[in-house]
Chains A and B, each alone.
Chain A
Amino acid sequence: MGYLVNRLIMTVITLFVILTVTFTMFRLMPGDPSVFFISPQMSTETIARIKAQFGLDQPIHKQFTNYLGSILHGNFGHSFFYKRPVLEVIGERLLNTIVLFLPAAIISYLVGVGLGRYMAWKRGGTSERVLIFTGLSFWTFFVPWLGLLMIWVLSYKFGLFPVGGMITPDKWLPGSTLLGRALDLLHHLVSPLVCYVLTWFAGNMLIMRNSMLETIGEDYILTVRAKGLSERKIRNKHAARNAILPVVTAFSMSIAYSIGGCVLLETVFSWPGIGRTMVDSVLLRDYPLAQASFILIATVVLVANLITDILYAYLDPRIRY
């Protein structure tokens, strides 16, 4: 339990740090920090009213607590561009990002672990070398470029998948079936998902391979072999089961980096997710929306980290107690 409480406290602290950094950044911004809540088109009275309402006339520490309070209540202000509460705009986008990010994370993990396990068990040989080189190449592939190449080949040349977007509006008209909608979504999801997985799996694969190689040399593997277990059971139930522990740790650490891929991919594939929203809102100087997008992206990472940490505790009895 100590471990999980620890992780939980760390998550809260990290969130606090992120909020503080965001707050400070927007104070450092050139010009009046009130742009943060106020759109330039408003009249002077309205501005003054809003300033008072949001406490922008108050001392900085008061402003900070107000800021924390409103964010914890889900109040991120009004979007300049959409003229709606930020949360309304962003809620759906967040979900869209998760639709892409979650399967990508899970598949990258499973593919990586599966291939790494296979490589370590069958040492040497061409298949290992080919896998390593392919894996490393994809791992360092420039994500947007891979996306563009995929669109070029799969969509532009062969017309297999849509060029971008998340849905075809025609297929989501009232009266369309759930299955039809799901298939349409899936059709749009394939390219970005494959692109994401391709650039992400290799990290897990290489760590799994290395970890497996270390594990295979452990004494308890000799014991289970002596117990007369089949090679498959030795590999899956004992060697791989122990070898995934470092992979889970490394996976957790890679999430923050990998979500950057989301921002890039969503731009390339016109996926209406939170990463693209953030990019657009920064370009449009829609500060409240940009800030909220950043905080939510960071929160997604924190939650994902926390989930992996819980999973880790579940997998490693030495941590559990």
Chain B
Amino acid sequence: MRIGTKRKFGLAHLLFKGISQEALGKIGIAIIILFGVMALVSPFVINIDPDVYDPLIGVDPLIFSSQGPTLTHPLGTDHLGRDVLSQLLKGSQIAFLVGITVGLMATLIGTAIGLISGYFRGATDSLLMRITDIILSIPSLPLLIMILCVFEHRGIWVIVMVLGLTGWPITARVIRSQTLSLRERPFVQSARVSGASDWRIILIHIAPNVLPLTFLYMTIGVTYAILTEAGLGFLGFSDPTISSWGMMLQWCFSTGHTFKALYWMIPPGLSISLLALSFYLVGYSLEREINPRLREP
């Protein structure tokens, strides 16, 4: 039962409206779909001939150095003769995997902490917000490098976990301040008077109202995750058993092909930037829907 829970923005309605009304939101969705298709197509491409098209171990037997685009290798090959396009498609899968998982994890943690902090206030709030501040002021990329340096094992899941566990502070702050104002609203007050438990109020009355914001910060979290994982890959600290976009760029850079093989240097960097941008554009359109003051008059 919802006692007077006035939901100004149904999430689905809001997503639809926010994204469909803004040109930038549409561009964002289009890019996401494009890369989504790439991620789905990836296994089929590899299956054409895994010996040639596997992004890591498939080597064209006729090629021993990086070569420009040909019919069999539309984006050319890397220095070992591996197919760049195939790596790029696989990279799309990894980017989605990392981005979405980290985004979900970070926003879930951030939202939970924000709700608890804002609802209970007092000592709980102070403690949680101090922790948030501390995590916020630890530089995440260097921290990740140190952690990966210590754990000899650099699985992609270690990266995902660390990103997810450190990426929540901004969400927590925003959700907290929203919760602080929501808890004073009449419908929450009346729920409290009618004897609903704290957790019930948080879950049933407050949480649905912060959902749009949660979603907004999730898109930002996805952007953050994609860029940071790519950064780690570029520095050579990502999972060596996969071909992420960051790794591709690193191979290109560290073997000195940066300016010799643009067909190899452009695609991974462009993909990272575009996919990061697309999620941000979706978030940006949503923000304008949530906060009408930002729209044009």
> Touch between A and B in complex, CB under 8 Å?
yes
Residues of A within 8 A of B (CB): 10, 13-14, 17-18, 21-22, 25-26, 28-30, 123-124, 128, 132-133, 136-137, 139-146, 148-149, 151-152, 156, 210, 213-214, 217, 253, 255-257, 259-260, 263-264, 267-268, 275, 278-279, 282-283, 290-291, 293-294, 297-298, 301-302, 305
Are the CB atoms of A278 and B142 closer together than 8 Å? yes
Q: Contacting chain A: which of B36-44, B73-81, B189-197, B276-284? A: B276-284
A123 / chain B contacts, CB cutoff of 8 Å: 296-297
Known: A148-B265, A264-B231, A283-B236. 17 other contacts (CB 8 A): A17-B134, A21-B138, A136-B277, A136-B284, A142-B230, A142-B231, A142-B276, A143-B227, A146-B269, A148-B269, A152-B259, A253-B170, A267-B235, A278-B145, A282-B145, A294-B146, A298-B139
A233 smallest CB distance to B (angstroms): 23
B187 at the interface (CB under 8 A from A): no
* Distance between Cα atoms of A254 and B262 in the complex (Å): 32
CB contact between B227 and one of A133, A142, A149, A275 (< 8 Å): that residue:
A142
CB contact between A256 and one of B130, B138, B228, B262 (< 8 Å): that residue:
B138
* Distance between Cα atoms of A53 and B45 in the complex (Å): 60
Which residues between 82 and 121 of chain B lie within 8 Å of chain A, taking CB atoms?
none
B251 at the interface (CB under 8 A from A): no
Are the CB atoms of B142 and A260 closer together than 8 Å? yes
Are the CB atoms of B142 and A144 closer together than 8 Å? no
Are the CB atoms of B139 and A142 closer together than 8 Å? no
Identify 18 residue pairs between A and B in the complex whose beta-carbon atoms are under 8 Å apart, listed by A's number: A14-B134, A21-B138, A25-B147, A124-B296, A128-B296, A132-B24, A142-B272, A142-B273, A146-B269, A256-B139, A259-B141, A259-B142, A282-B237, A290-B149, A294-B143, A298-B142, A298-B143, A301-B137
CB contact between A148 and one of B130, B138, B253 (< 8 Å): that residue:
B253
B170 / chain A contacts, CB cutoff of 8 Å: 253
B71 at the interface (CB under 8 A from A): no
Which residues between 128 and 142 of chain B lie within 8 Å of chain A, taking CB atoms?
130, 133-134, 136-142
B259 / chain A contacts, CB cutoff of 8 Å: 151-152, 156
Q: Which residue of B lies closest to A256 (CB)?
A: B139
The interface on chain B, measured as residues whose beta carbon lies within 8 A of the other chain's beta carbons, has a size of 50
Are the CB atoms of A260 and B297 closer together than 8 Å? no
B35 at the interface (CB under 8 A from A): no
Are the CB atoms of B140 and A257 closer together than 8 Å? yes
Are the CB atoms of B133 and A14 closer together than 8 Å? yes
Q: Which residue of B lies closest to A305 (CB)?
A: B137
Which residues between 231 and 268 of chain B lie within 8 Å of chain A, taking CB atoms?
231, 234-237, 249, 253, 258-259, 262, 265, 268
Are the CB atoms of B276 and A140 closer together than 8 Å? yes
Residue among A140, A256, A268 with most chain B CB within 10 A: A140
B15 smallest CB distance to A (angstroms): 19
Are the CB atoms of A136 and B281 closer together than 8 Å? yes
B150 at the interface (CB under 8 A from A): yes
How many residue pairs at the A-B interface have CB separations less than 8 Å? 151
* Distance between Cα atoms of A128 and B133 in the complex (Å): 33
Are the CB atoms of A256 and B258 closer together than 8 Å? no
B26 smallest CB distance to A (angstroms): 13
Q: Which residue of B lies closest to A257 (CB)?
A: B140
B297 / chain A contacts, CB cutoff of 8 Å: 123-124
B12 / chain A contacts, CB cutoff of 8 Å: none
B147 / chain A contacts, CB cutoff of 8 Å: 25
B142 / chain A contacts, CB cutoff of 8 Å: 259-260, 263, 275, 278, 293-294, 297-298
Encode B138-165 as 1/0 by CB contact (under 8 A) with A: 1111110111011010000000000000
A293 / chain B contacts, CB cutoff of 8 Å: 142
B294 at the interface (CB under 8 A from A): yes
Are the CB atoms of A26 and B150 closer together than 8 Å? yes
B281 smallest CB distance to A (angstroms): 6
Instruction: Give 6 closest A-B pairs by Cβ, nearest first.
Output: A145-B269, A260-B141, A140-B276, A142-B272, A140-B277, A282-B149
CB contact between B231 and one of A143, A148, A255, A298 (< 8 Å): that residue:
A143
Q: Which residue of A lies closest to B147 (CB)?
A: A25
A140 / chain B contacts, CB cutoff of 8 Å: 223, 227, 273, 276-277, 280
B113 smallest CB distance to A (angstroms): 16
B253 / chain A contacts, CB cutoff of 8 Å: 144, 148, 268
Are the CB atoms of B145 and A253 closer together than 8 Å? no
CB contact between A282 and one of B146, B228, B262, B280 (< 8 Å): that residue:
B146
* Distance between Cα atoms of A30 and B153 in the complex (Å): 10
* Distance between Cα atoms of A155 and B147 in the complex (Å): 35
Are the CB atoms of A217 and B149 closer together than 8 Å? no
B2 at the interface (CB under 8 A from A): no
A127 smallest CB distance to B (angstroms): 13
Are the CB atoms of A256 and B272 closer together than 8 Å? no
B90 smallest CB distance to A (angstroms): 18
B130 / chain A contacts, CB cutoff of 8 Å: 10, 13
B8 at the interface (CB under 8 A from A): no
A301 / chain B contacts, CB cutoff of 8 Å: 137-139
B226 smallest CB distance to A (angstroms): 9
Are the CB atoms of A260 and B140 closer together than 8 Å? yes
With A141-B273, A142-B273, A256-B140: A263-B145 Cβ-Cβ less than 8 Å:
yes
B13 at the interface (CB under 8 A from A): no
